[in-house]
């Protein structure tokens, strides 16, 4: 049996950050991953350019049953710390929108950064090593892969969530938490496109490819100003991905296609113009046609609308309701909501409160960020704080 100080399960964003930090402290660290490549999610993130953090990271951008949990780690290892690391490795980056930072060149730059940090800290990374079993061994743990048996003093679970099973997502982290008596909150897909009810699919399918800026609102009043994209399967785009994390089956979401009050003045200005002609100045024509076909709007010369009818049109455009049929699920979701209950973990170190030397970091726990670099920042911050103590 090979003995290590620290074993990290998962060579993703959180696991590699934690391993590098622990290695710098002189700990002998082994990282195990069942994949063929290091950091597969990093490589496919941000359209291949990795949206690695966000200028505006703050605790309010995270969903967690205990919203205070994220504060300590985010304050101790901030977006500015990760940006400094990116600068140290001379990686060129740019702000795309809303504080989102992307590599100029390729997400491979971020994987190379993490590998270089691990190498200089003496960390060993073993790929194609699926962890099959973990058991308590004295004060530490025994870890079994298909071909090897290892022991370690500290065990870090950085196995991520369930999204994208094709690139290595597995439920091992949740299984280990339950094995050691930790509560796991129900999981579901987040940052994921919506599918449509059959009747909406019929009237909205023709809009595939149409994109427009909207403000989307969930039933709990959460709002995002982002782009809506109609697809052949349903609706997507950043507005939908963001609100999907706040949506429960059976609920509606509302899209502000035009702000309330937009029609004021239109009647006086162009009384003979049909509503649809006036709207075409502000909205894609295909969307207007679909709204007319669905009966969400009717079109006639503006001067023929009564004040009550105009108010109804304004209301439809300011809060166009849609009840999704569901989501595309883990197949396309960027993240997994729920996971290891943060009440079971120390917010300062990510250690399991009732199992000495066991740690959970990154997406495996019940912490989910907004779209826009927030999830990687959680991986960096939670991985870094654990790396100081494992």
**What is the per-residue binding string for ligand FDA in 298-337, x denoting contact by CB under 6 A?**
------------------------------------xx--
Is residue 163 a contact residue for ligand FDA (CB under 6 A)? Answer: yes
| Environment class of 158 (CB within 10 Å of its CB; exposed 0-12, middle 13-18, buried 19+) | buried
Which residue, 159 or 187, is less far from ligand FDA as judged by CB?
159
Work out how close the CB of 209 gets to ligand FDA at its nearest, in angstroms, rounded to a whole number: 21
How would you write the chain as a 3-class SS string?
CEEEEEEEECCCHHHHHHHHHHHHCCCCEEEECCCCCCCHHHHHHHHHCCEEEECCCCHHHEECCCCCCCHHHHHHCCHHHHHHHHHHCCCCEEECCCCEEEECCCCHHHHHHHHHHHHHCCCEEECCCCEEEEEEECCEEEEEECCCEEEEEEEEECCCCCCCHHHCCCCHHHHHHHHCCCCEEEEEEECCCEECCHHHHHHHHHHCCCEEEEEEECCCCCEEEEEEEECCCEEEHHHHHHHHCCCCCCCCEEEECCCCCCCCCHHHHCCCCEHHHHHCCCCCHHHHHHHHHHCCCCCCEHHHCCHHHHHHHHHHHHCEEECCCEECHHHCCCEEEEEECHHHECCCCCEECCCCCEEECHHHECCEECCCCHHHHHHHHHHHHHHCCC
Work out how close the CB of 67 gets to ligand FDA at its nearest, in angstroms, rounded to a whole number: 18
The angle that helices 13-24 and 374-387 make with each other, rounded to 10 degrees, is 30
Is residue 50 a contact residue for ligand FDA (CB under 6 A)? Answer: yes
Choice from 172, 189, 253, 313 touching ligand FDA (CB under 6 A) = 172
Choice from 5, 112, 130, 343 touching ligand FDA (CB under 6 A) = 130
Which residue, 46 or 234, is less far from ligand FDA as judged by CB?
46
Is residue 385 a contact residue for ligand FDA (CB under 6 A)? Answer: no
Q: Judged by CB under 6 A, which stretch of 10-18, 109-117, 304-312, 319-327 contacts ligand FDA? A: 10-18
Which residue, 242 or 256, is less far from ligand FDA as judged by CB?
242
Choice from 22, 101, 111, 131 touching ligand FDA (CB under 6 A) = 131
Which residue, 117 or 334, is less far from ligand FDA as judged by CB?
334
Which residue, 317 or 345, is less far from ligand FDA as judged by CB?
345
Choice from 140, 193, 237, 362 touching ligand FDA (CB under 6 A) = 362
Is residue 339 a contact residue for ligand FDA (CB under 6 A)? Answer: no
- Report the C-alpha gap between 342 and 348 in whole angstroms: 11
Q: Which residue is at the shortest CB distance from ligand FDA?
A: 12
Q: Judged by CB under 6 A, which stretch of 153-161, 176-184, 229-237, 282-290 contacts ligand FDA? A: 153-161
Is residue 193 a contact residue for ligand FDA (CB under 6 A)? Answer: no
Q: Judged by CB under 6 A, which stretch of 149-157, 253-261, 272-280, 357-365 contacts ligand FDA? A: 357-365
Q: Judged by CB under 6 A, which stretch of 12-20, 76-84, 196-204, 210-218 contacts ligand FDA? A: 12-20
Judged by the rule CB under 6 A, the positions of this chain that interact with ligand FDA are 9-15, 32-35, 40-41, 44-46, 50-51, 130-131, 158-160, 163-164, 168, 170, 172, 334-335, 362-364, 373-376, 379
């Amino acid at each position: 049996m090979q003995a290590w100080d620290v074993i990290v399960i998962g060579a993703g964003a959180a696991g590699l950050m934690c391993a590098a930090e622990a290695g710098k402290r002189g700990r002998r660290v082994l990282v195990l991953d069942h994949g063929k490549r290091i950091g597969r999610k990093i490589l496919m993130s941000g359209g291949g350019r990795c949206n690695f953090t966000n200028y505006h990271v703050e605790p309010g951008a995270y969903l967690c049953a205990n919203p205070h949990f994220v504060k300590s780690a985010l304050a101790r290892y901030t977006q500015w710390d990760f940006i400094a690391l990116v600068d140290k490795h001379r990686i060129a980056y740019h702000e795309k929108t809303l504080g989102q930072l992307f590599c100029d060149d390729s997400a491979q730059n971020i994987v190379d950064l993490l590998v270089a940090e691990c190498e200089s800290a003496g960390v060993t990374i073993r790929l194609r090593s699926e962890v099959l079993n973990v058991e308590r061994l004295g004060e530490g743990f025994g870890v079994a892969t298909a071909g090897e048996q290892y022991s370690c003093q500290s065990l870090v679970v950085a196995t991520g969530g369930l999204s994208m099973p094709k690139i290595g997502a597995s439920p091992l982290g949740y299984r280990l938490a339950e094995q050691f008596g930790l509560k796991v909150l129900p999981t579901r897909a987040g940052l994921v496109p919506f599918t449509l009810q059959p009747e909406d699919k019929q009237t909205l399918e023709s809009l595939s490819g149409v994109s427009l800026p909207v403000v989307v609102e969930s039933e709990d009043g959460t709002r995002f100003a982002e782009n809506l994209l109609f697809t052949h399967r349903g609706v997507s785009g950043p507005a939908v991905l963001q609100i999907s994390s706040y949506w429960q089956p059976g609920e509606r979401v509302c899209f502000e296609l035009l702000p309330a009050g937009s029609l004021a003045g239109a009647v006086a200005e162009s009384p003979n113009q049909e509503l649809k002609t006036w709207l075409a100045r502000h909205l894609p024509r295909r969307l207007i046609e679909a709204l007319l076909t669905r009966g969400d709007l009717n079109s006639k010369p503006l001067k023929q609308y009564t004040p009550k009818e105009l108010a109804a049109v304004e209301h439809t455009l300011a809060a166009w309701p849609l009840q999704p049929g569901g989501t595309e699920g883990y197949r396309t979701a960027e993240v997994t909501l729920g996971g290891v209950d943060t009440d079971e973990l120390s917010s300062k170190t990510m250690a399991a409160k009732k199992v000495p030397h066991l740690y959970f970091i990154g997406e495996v726990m019940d912490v989910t960020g907004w779209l826009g670099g927030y999830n990687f920042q959680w991986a960096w911050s939670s991985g870094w704080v654990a790396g100081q103590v494992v």
